[in-house]
């Protein structure tokens, strides 16, 4: 009997040891929650204590909302380190845009940035201010960028108010290119949009040495009624270049005349250019006038377009727009 009890005690001791070893090897084996926590801890993404490094440069996008000003705006940049100029547009490709922009990269060093919008000489417009992520009145804005990307718009309005020549009737002493799909036509000279264009057909009566015409080409504008004006602005074609990288077919010599009856004309200004106008709108102060009709009498053609450089007869007279204003 004594031997039986000793065997029973030994059996209990063996079971106790087995249980103790099992708990030591897997303390969470009987607890599903503990198992889940252990798995989550093993797969969790480490928490980083690093902060985002500031960008080396600040991007400043500068836009002009009206295509009538696409080649008129010079943006001057200045901070502690640099001074430079950029012309809007940086690229003149494309005509179907609602606005054109340039992108500036300036050092992100906490310094104040100064931008100045300057209209090229002769532009019949004025800069009224800046808007967007920063704002200012007038041509110059000063600000310290508070983020890596800044958007600004140059606000511009006509200098002299209403364009009196909009939708005027245009006639020409020679043929004109008429292709509305490609936005060529005599009516486009006064439609108020510089992205449409006026062009004569090719001119055969040009002296190739002097570029003078044997007979003047006349372009007449009927404003519908007598109007008071003193400024006539001519916008050159800018969608392509001439053979010397200037604007093509802007006449080098012409006369501006006015008339009250469309028959008897009086000269108010003679224009003679020594060099290409290079994308700059030309505004002519003709003095105080009251007239219904205008005439451009062209006597000397300008540089031919590069895309017509191989044509047998490449000479034309071309403009993007004619505008008429009355200074206040």
Last residue of a domain, one of 100, 124, 158: 158
Q: Are both 314 and 198 inside the same structural domain? A: yes
Q: Which of 58, 53, 54 is CA-nearest to residue 77?
A: 58
Q: Cβ(119)–Cβ(72) under 8 Å?
A: yes
Q: Indicate if 184 and 300 belong to the same structural domain.
A: yes
Say how far apart CA 95 and CA 272 lie, in whole Å: 30
pTM above 0.85, yes or no: no
Mind listing the pLDDT tens digit of every residue in the chain (328 residues)?
A: 544 444 544 545 544 444 444 444 444 444 333 333 333 233 333 343 444 566 788 888 887 765 444 444 566 666 555 555 555 544 434 333 444 567 778 778 888 888 888 776 777 888 899 999 999 999 889 999 889 999 998 888 888 889 999 999 999 999 999 999 999 999 999 998 887 899 999 999 999 999 999 999 999 999 999 999 999 999 898 788 888 888 899 999 999 999 999 999 999 999 999 888 876 789 999 999 999 999 999 999 999 999 887 888 899 999 999 999 999 8
For residue 4, being part of any structural domain is answered with: no
Alpha-carbon distance of 318 to 302, in angstroms, equals 9
Per the structure, the complete domain to which residue 257 belongs is given by 169-325
Residues 174 and 311 in one domain: yes
Same domain, 103 and 203: no
Residues 314 and 176 in one domain: yes
Q: Of the residues 158, 185, 218, which one is the last residue of a structural domain?
A: 158
In a domain, 30, yes or no: no
Residue 164 lies in a domain: no
- Residue 27 covered by a domain: no
Q: Are residues 190 and 314 in the same domain?
A: yes
120 in any annotated domain: yes
211 shares a domain with 302: yes
**Together in a domain, 192 and 294:** yes
CA atoms within 13 A on the CB side of 20: 6
Note whether 101 and 152 are same-domain residues.
Answer: yes
CA 121 to chain centre: 19
Structural domain count, the chain: 2
Q: How far apart are CA 285 and CA 211, in angstroms?
A: 26
* CATH number of 188's domain: 2.60.120.260
One domain, residues 152 and 178: no
In a domain, 265, yes or no: yes
Query: Residue 51 domain-assigned?
Result: no
User: Please, what's the b/e burial string for 270-308 (b: 16 or more CB within 10 A of its CB; e: otherwise)?
Assistant: ebeeeebbbbbbbbeebeebebbbbbbbbbbbbbbbbeb
- Do residues 149 and 194 share a domain? no
Domain contains 314? yes
Same domain, 144 and 213: no
Q: Which of 158, 189, 208 is the last residue of a domain?
A: 158
158-193 b/e with 16+ CB inside 10 Å = b?
A: ebbeebbbeebebebebebbeeeeeebbbebbbbeb
């Amino acid at each position: 009997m004594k031997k039986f009890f000793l065997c029973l005690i030994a059996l209990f001791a063996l079971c106790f040891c087995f249980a103790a070893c099992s708990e030591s090897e897997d303390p969470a084996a009987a607890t599903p929650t503990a198992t889940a926590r252990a798995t989550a801890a093993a797969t969790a993404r480490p928490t980083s204590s690093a902060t985002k490094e500031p960008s080396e440069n600040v991007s400043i996008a500068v836009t002009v909302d009206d295509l009538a000003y696409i080649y008129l705006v010079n943006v001057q940049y200045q901070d502690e380190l640099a001074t430079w100029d950029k012309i809007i547009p940086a690229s003149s490709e494309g005509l179907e845009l609602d606005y054109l922009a340039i992108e500036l990269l300036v050092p992100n060093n906490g310094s104040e940035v100064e931008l100045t919008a300057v209209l090229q000489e002769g532009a019949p417009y004025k800069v009224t201010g800046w808007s967007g992520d920063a704002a200012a009145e007038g041509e110059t804005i000063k600000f310290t960028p508070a983020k890596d990307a800044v958007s600004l718009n140059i606000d511009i309005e006509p200098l002299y108010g209403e364009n009196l020549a909009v939708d005027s009737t245009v006639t020409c002493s020679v043929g004109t290119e008429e292709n509305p799909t490609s936005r060529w036509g005599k009516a486009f000279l006064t439609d108020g949009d510089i992205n449409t264009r006026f062009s004569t057909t090719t001119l055969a009566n040009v002296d190739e040495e002097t570029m003078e015409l044997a007979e003047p080409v006349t372009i007449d504008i009927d404003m519908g009624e007598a109007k008071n004006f003193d400024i006539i602005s001519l916008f050159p074609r800018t969608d392509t270049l001439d053979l010397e990288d200037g604007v093509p077919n802007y006449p080098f010599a012409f006369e501006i005349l006015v008339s009250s009856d469309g028959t008897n004309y009086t000269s108010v200004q003679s224009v003679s250019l020594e060099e290409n106008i290079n994308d700059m709108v030309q505004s002519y102060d003709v003095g105080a006038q009251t007239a219904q009709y205008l005439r451009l009498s062209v006597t000397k053609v300008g540089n031919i377009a590069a895309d017509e450089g191989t044509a047998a007869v490449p000479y034309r007279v071309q403009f993007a727009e004619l505008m008429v204003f009355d200074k206040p």
